[in-house]
Amino acid sequence: MAAIGLTNSCVLSKGLIHRILRALMLSQVGKDKDKPVLFTRNSTGLVKSVSAIDVLIYTLSCAGPIVLIALGVTELPSIYEGVNLPLVFGLSLILLVTLAYNTICLSSTLPRAGGDYVFGSRIVNPVWGMIPSFMVEFSFVVGIASLSLVGLEAFIGPAILTSYPQFAGTVSTWIYGAPINVAALGLLIILVIFGFAIIGTRKWFWFVKALAIYALIMTLVFFGYLLTANHQAIMNNYNAQAITPLTYSAVVTNATASGWPQSVPGTTLATAGAMIFLFFFMAAPISAYFAGEIKNTQRSMTVGLMGGTIMAWVIAAIGILGFLAVFGYTFMSDFGFLGSLNPSTASLGVFTFNTLLLALVKNPNITFLIGMGFGLAFIAFLSVTLLPASRILFAWSFDRLIPERFSSVSSRTQTPVFSLAFVGILTGIVTVIDAYYSAALGEVLATTLIVAIAFMPNGFTAALLPFRKKDIYNLAPPIAKKKVAGFPLITITGLIQGVGLVIIILLTFLEPAAAGTSTGQISIGAIAVVLFGLIASILFYPISRAIRKSQGLDLSLVFNEIPPE
């Protein structure tokens, strides 16, 4: 009995000893800067609570196929006039599937909070891991704020105005009026999103799933109307709308009179540009950033990420190609030109997806319900960036690159409350700035470049895994060790992802119009934003390492092991 008691005492004291050692280490920081100290770490405190269905819904939300339908039916035929869209969808699927496969393999091999940061820092170099994570963090904080306002102005507002024009005064006041009103609504959306995340990850997932499920149901209703649509009836419905200043035929006549060509052959650059457009809406590898919280990572990521990616592609393809088939490619090209590119008509604000939706559905009440489905899909689309944004800060802090407070986890909610609150405050500040100084940073092009730069390194990281970290690769799950003719499949798919995104980045600089920029030019503001993010991401680790070294802590030791979860 005494031996048993002694054994239990020793076991129980392990946690206490660990805490004492950690306290002693921290007490030495700043006291004896020349003397090396012990590097220790606790487990993260995060809980594996995310299921395969959660990842599936999450992937569908961040891929944004429903959002892509609303934007793609007007943008693709006009900005990329003449392209073969079935070909574009086919080519895009290759890049999307390889991206999903690489993410599944890396997340299953290193299932840790931090995603690309952990993959790149452990397999290649700490700076290599910092580049994508910093760029993603930067774009997500700016993106959540900007998209909250876009959701109001491009989805919620038009849904109300199209079906219920009698509320035009109220909508104009709150959504299109004083910046303080728009900022208040944007902050309300952000407060709800962050509130659910802070009180519990499971509750946040239920919030996102509720939005996504309603959006998916409305999308199925929308598809039902597409499948039974009659082109002549659509023309008649469009002509009968009081909100539309031009008839169906007048749209074509007006666009032609304004100099818009009616027949343009597709080009290689336009095809590549359309692929960029699809990719930056449908690439959804960001569940990797909370891989440490996913149950049975390999199975859940395979079902959720790969399944969600393919489902998103199918939804977008059916929606866009079906819509263009019933409305007519030429009409949609002219409609997109008048709504986005022609200064004489763009200010009218009536060339929206909702106007077309009303012509398809005819019933204003059903049109509103479907329109709100697209709007809530957009809210879900912006919401899903929250979790990665907080987990990146968490991972940096866990490796001591930033203050330890960012990796603290509430024992009650099992969420990194401080990191979530920090991201929420930054997002709120950017929301207010955006409300008063709309699109001041050239967000469209900046986001295109930032996302490309963020997703590119991970492809080369995946390709190098079997060669740079053979010990990790040998312990990887079966999906990551598949081979083609004796050669690692992950290396092949990694190169497709990495090289493909390098080409996209080059195309953006060589042919801005093909990248989807509204002016066909690269603005100085956009380039400044991208360069700031890139330079800051490269310098971040060396600066953190120098600071920690002055405190007697060698950060290089962090990257010689895999942190526990």
Mapped onto helix, strand or coil, the DSSP state of residue 154 is helix
Q: Quick check: 560 pLDDT over 60?
A: yes
Summarize the confidence of residues 164-175 as an average pLDDT.
Answer: 88
Summarize the confidence of residues 285-312 as an average pLDDT.
Answer: 92
Residue 43 class from Cβ within 10 Å (0-12 exposed, 13-18 middle, 19+ buried)?
Answer: exposed
Give the ranges where 29-64 is alpha helix by DSSP (H). Answer: 52-63
pLDDT at 512: 60
Give residues with Cβ within 8 angstroms of 177, minimum separation 6: none
In this prediction, residue 45 has a pLDDT band, given cuts at 50, 70 and 90, of low
Give residues with Cβ within 8 angstroms of 20, minimum separation 6: none
Q: Is residue 282 part of a domain?
A: yes
Please tell me what DSSP assigns to residue 50: B
Q: Quick check: 6 pLDDT over 50?
A: no
pTM of the model: 0.84
Q: How many CB atoms lie within 10 A of CB 190?
A: 23
Structure tokens at 415: 């969420």
pLDDT tens-digit profile of 312-357?
A: 999 999 999 999 999 999 999 988 888 876 666 655 567 788 889 9
Domain count, the chain: 1
- Look at the block and give the residue holding tokens 């092009």: 445
pLDDT at 52: 93
Share of the chain above pLDDT 90, in %: 35
The better pLDDT of the pair 135, 145 is held by: 135
Structure tokens at 142: 């700016």
Mapped onto helix, strand or coil, the DSSP state of residue 411 is coil
pLDDT tens-digit profile of 55-71?
A: 999 999 988 899 899 98
Q: Is residue 565 part of a domain?
A: no
Q: How many CB atoms lie within 10 A of CB 355?
A: 20
pLDDT at 127: 92
Across 125-129, 274-278, 301-305, 472-476, least confident range:
274-278
Q: Is residue 33 part of a domain?
A: no
Q: Quick check: 96 pLDDT over 50?
A: yes
pLDDT at 448: 59
Q: Quick check: 76 pLDDT over 50?
A: yes
pLDDT tens-digit profile of 112-124?
A: 888 899 999 999 9
Cβ distance 381 to 64 under 8 Å?
A: yes
Helix 248-257 vs helix 329-336: angle between axes, to the nearest 10 degrees?
Answer: 60
Across 14-18, 426-430, 497-501, least confident range:
14-18
The better pLDDT of the pair 288, 345 is held by: 288
Q: Is residue 3 part of a domain?
A: no
pLDDT at 506: 79
Cβ distance 416 to 469 under 8 Å?
A: no
Q: Which of 438, 447, 241, 228 is nearest to 335 (CA)?
A: 241
Average pLDDT, the chain: 82
Q: Quick check: 151 pLDDT over 90?
A: no
Q: Quick check: 269 pLDDT over 80?
A: no
Q: Is residue 536 part of a domain?
A: yes
Structure tokens at 337: 């030109």
In this prediction, residue 387 has a pLDDT band, given cuts at 50, 70 and 90, of confident
Q: Is residue 30 part of a domain?
A: no
pLDDT at 544: 92
Domain range for 278 is 46-550
The residue type at 457: P
Cβ distance 114 to 394 under 8 Å?
A: yes
Q: How many CB atoms lie within 10 A of CB 440?
A: 10
Q: Is residue 24 part of a domain?
A: no
Residues 424, 390: Cα–Cα separation, whole Å: 9
**290, β-bridge pairs:** 113
Q: Which of 13, 44, 20 is nearest to 113 (CA)?
A: 44
Q: Quick check: 27 pLDDT over 70?
A: no
R_g of the chain computed on alpha carbons: 25
Structure tokens at 41: 């770490």
Check which CATH number belongs to the domain holding 362 and give it.
Answer: 1.20.1740.10
Q: Is residue 19 part of a domain?
A: no
